[in-house]
Structure 1
Amino acid sequence: MRTLVAGRYRLRSLLGRGGMGSVWLAEDELLGRLVALKHVERGGQARALAEARAAASVEHPGVVRVLDLVRDGGEPWIVLEALTGRTLADVLATDGPLPVAEVRRIGLRLLDALEAVHRAGVVHRDLKPGNVQLTHDGRVVLIDFGIAYCPAYDEGPPDDGFAGSPAYVSPEQLHGARPEPASDLFTLGATLYAAVEGRSPFDRGDLFATMLAVTEADPAPFRLAGPLRPVIEGLLTACPDRRFSVAQAREALVTPTVTSVKRPMSPAPPASMIKA
């Protein structure tokens, strides 16, 4: 691995590695600042450009900022703001479930971020604890737009069924439906459940059992959610048309005594074969 990228960015340490690439902390030697560099694996040039464009189209403090897209040796590197703190997944693994008040704060900040993302015509598609950064100055930041869908830049909807983590995907995405904002709201519900309960609502330790639990929107029993249970249940509704909207979820979080928010009735989605 080279230590200087594009003649400018000096790699310092590996921050994380995923299925589509790795993220490094680096020093911008030209401007004298720290940045995060995402290295997209060879052959992922088109996906890297789509990811950078999708994230860059959103201007909001709750969304990671894209600073540039550079190439080094023919390989793309996305230049991102360097964030302090830890991911929500790391916090849960180290500290356990979070207090209800803190989860409520995180939920409200993520709703603000999703509202900005959807207003820009983007569907994140991969909201989960590992993609939520909790910074030292109190920001709640949505990161990693690696599988985001943006009709303005993508030629068509994904044709590979679903991408991302099986325990944090919406039922309609398992059925291969076109990505819609409502899908991000389902995964928000799963993320808030994990934050307050300390575990994924659908992870059953087996891929098929996990996917079946998601398809049936059948979360594990609530133990710690307390006043957050109604909003989480409203977000974890199998039918997208009956799922809480951003406005409904915000109302339920701001007014935790609300036990139900009227949702339009519509038939459940037809059953179809799950794409593995």
Structure 2
Amino acid sequence: MGWAHVSTHELVAGRYRLLEVVHEETNRVCWSGEDTGTGRPCLVTRIALPAEQAGDSARRATGRVVRTCETVERLCPGRIVPVVDATFADGALWTVTDWVGGVPLGDLLDRQGTFNYVRAARIGLELLAVLDAAHGEGITHGELSPGQVFVREDGSVAVTGFGLAGATLAPRLTAPSYASPEQARDERIGPAADLWTLGAILYTMVEGRPPFRDRGRPE
């Protein structure tokens, strides 16, 4: 993933400074960052796009990402990481969110190992509440994974990534091990895809590994 090593000396959109990588997944890298306009910390995410999608459709996607996140945030205040900016640059879609102040669930599992069933259930129920609220408005996350779930020090969770699925024409699987069968087959997805992923995340929390370890490739 050579594209992950973006120069930290250049500002994204002429404003956001990249500091250090927080989390990496296929086609997706998150950095801790700084908004040079305000001096506030932020989370900057680069979503790689196929070359054929690096055009008008990707630019239009920026507005969709912001609007979708605003909608879900109103439904689930405090559980959605607000997107404050989205831009298209260097053949990629960049999103900027408020600083989360938590650790990606996948990284937390790597550090601490498996969770007991009480902790896993608590996180699962919080995620289910967010998904249920979004689904009630006809919004599917579509790219949920442990890298999109941040766990704060108090144990609460905050979800990122709403609005990315379907924002471009090309299918992108950021975490194949957590993708539903219809996602892997590049078929139309809906709430069932998110619930499949939630089940896979619950399994990972208590077993310490994804339910499908050999799913590094969609096929």
Where on the TM-score scale, by shorter chain, does this alignment land: which range? 0.7 to 0.9
Inter-CA distance 21–107: structure 2 relative to 1 (3 Å threshold): closer
**Is contact 1:125–1:183 with CA below 8 Å preserved after alignment?**
yes
Counterpart of 2:201? 191
User: CA 1:123/1:206 → structure 2, altered by over 3 Å: closer, same or farther?
Assistant: closer
2:180 to 158, 170, 192: 170
Following superposition of structure 1 onto structure 2, how do residues 186-225 of structure 1 map, counting pairs within 5 Å? 186-203=196-213, 205=214
Residue 71 of structure 2 corresponds to which residue in structure 1?
57
SS of 1:32's equivalent? coil
2:39 maps to which of 8, 29, 32: 32
2:3 matched residue in structure 1: none
Whether the 8 Å CA contact 2:87–2:95 is kept in 1: the answer is yes
Tell me how far apart the structure 2 counterparts of residues 62 and 134 of structure 1 sit (CA, whole Å).
10
For CA contacts below 8 A with separation 6 or more, give which structure has more relative contact order. Answer: 2
The one of 110, 114, 119 aligned to 1:102: 119
RMSD: 3.0
Aligned to 1:111: 128
Identity fraction in percent: 35
* Match in the other structure for 1:8: 15
Q: Check conservation: 1:190, 1:200, Cα contact below 8 A.
A: yes
- TM-score for both structures, normalised by structure 2: 0.76
Give the distance between the partners of 1:5 and 1:166, measured in 2 at CA.
28
- Tell me the equivalent position of 1:229: none
Structure 2 regions of 5+ residues with no counterpart? 1-6
- For residue 29 of structure 1, what is the amino acid of its counterpart? T
Deviations 1:24-82 (A, max 9, x none): 22222333311112234472534444434433331122222111224668975322011
Contact residue 52 and residue 69 of structure 1 kept, 8 A = yes
**Alignment match, 2:29:** 22
TM-score normalised per structure 1:
0.62
The 3 A distance-change label for structure 1 pair 190 and 68 is same
C-alpha distance 164-69 of structure 1, shift in aligned 2 (>3 A): closer
Aligned to 2:102: 85
Matched with 1:235 is: none
Note the C-alpha offset of 1:193. 0.8
Greater C-alpha Rg: 1
Structure 1: state its 5+ residue gaps: 212-275
Matched, 1:181 2:191: yes
SS in 1 for 2:69: helix
